């Protein structure tokens, strides 16, 4: 199966997505059996954002794919990692300074998630869409996969940074999510609107 505009071929359109998009981009027809979604009811879509242009492309693609906003529940997450003290000599930097760094990272992640949720709500302003946000503390790839399991997501959507050979060799968040998520994963390239 070839999937246009994505970095991976592990996505399968499901209930709640437009059939024309599924036929055009994926060459398959979505499952028409009602309530075959894992969570029963609404399609549960988890979007991970880091505030980058790649994440914005993933948010745009998600909005394009939702045919009926009433049949979708979108959860936007943003993850941050703690910074650990690295100092040449003991007590070179105060604990308060590191706490400020952690607080700034958490606030920035919360802002990224809130901005993404606002973008989604704006796209569906005439039809209310169920959108929630969460900030995850820890390794982004691990926390996104854990959240997909705990929240029982039907699909995870992430942006592809497109770092090339060395980025894939050294590992990336999208690569880890593709290989470890309990559900379908859509990895969106930044230039998806140009094709």
Quote the pLDDT of residue 47. 96
Domains of the chain, CATH where assigned:
19-194 (3.40.50.620)
180 exposure class (CB count in 10 Å sphere: 0-12, 13-18, 19+): middle
Rounded to whole angstroms, the Cα distance separating 168 from 194 reads: 24
Residue with tokens 């140009």: 194
Overall average pLDDT of the 94-119 stretch: 91
Residues 55 and 79: beta-carbon distance below 8 Å: no
Rounded to whole angstroms, the Cα distance separating 166 from 188 reads: 19
Chain centroid, CA 155 distance in Å: 9
121 exposure class (CB count in 10 Å sphere: 0-12, 13-18, 19+): middle
Rounded to whole angstroms, the Cα distance separating 50 from 48 reads: 7
Of residues 80 and 163, the one with the higher pLDDT is 80
Overall average pLDDT of the 72-101 stretch: 79
Q: What tens digit of pLDDT does each residue of 118-156 get?
A: 999 999 877 789 999 999 999 999 999 999 999 999 999
Rounded to whole angstroms, the Cα distance separating 124 from 107 reads: 26
Q: What tens digit of pLDDT does each residue of 12-70 get?
A: 434 344 433 343 333 333 443 333 455 458 899 999 999 988 899 999 999 999 988 98
Phi, psi of 186, deg, nearest 5: -110, 120
Residues 177 and 144: beta-carbon distance below 8 Å: yes
């Amino acid at each position: 199966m070839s999937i246009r505009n994505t970095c991976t071929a592990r996505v399968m359109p499901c209930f709640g997505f437009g059939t024309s998009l599924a036929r055009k981009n994926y060459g398959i027809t979505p499952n028409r059996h009602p309530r075959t979604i894992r969570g029963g009811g609404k399609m549960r879509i988890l979007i991970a954002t880091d505030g980058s242009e790649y994440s914005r492309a993933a948010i745009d693609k998600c909005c394009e794919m939702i045919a009926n906003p009433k049949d979708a529940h979108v959860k936007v997450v943003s993850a941050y990692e703690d910074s650990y003290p690295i100092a040449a000599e003991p007590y070179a930097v105060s604990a308060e300074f590191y706490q400020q760094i952690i607080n700034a990272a958490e606030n920035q992640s919360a802002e990224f998630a809130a901005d993404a949720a606002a973008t989604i709500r704006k796209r569906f302003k005439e039809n209310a869409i169920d959108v929630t946000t969460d900030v995850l503390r820890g390794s982004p790839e691990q926390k996104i996969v854990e959240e997909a399991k705990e929240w029982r997501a039907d699909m995870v959507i992430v942006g592809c940074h497109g770092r090339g050979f060395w980025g894939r060799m050294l590992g990336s968040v999208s690569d880890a999510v593709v290989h470890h998520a309990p559900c379908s994963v859509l990895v969106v390239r930044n230039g998806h609107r140009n094709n």
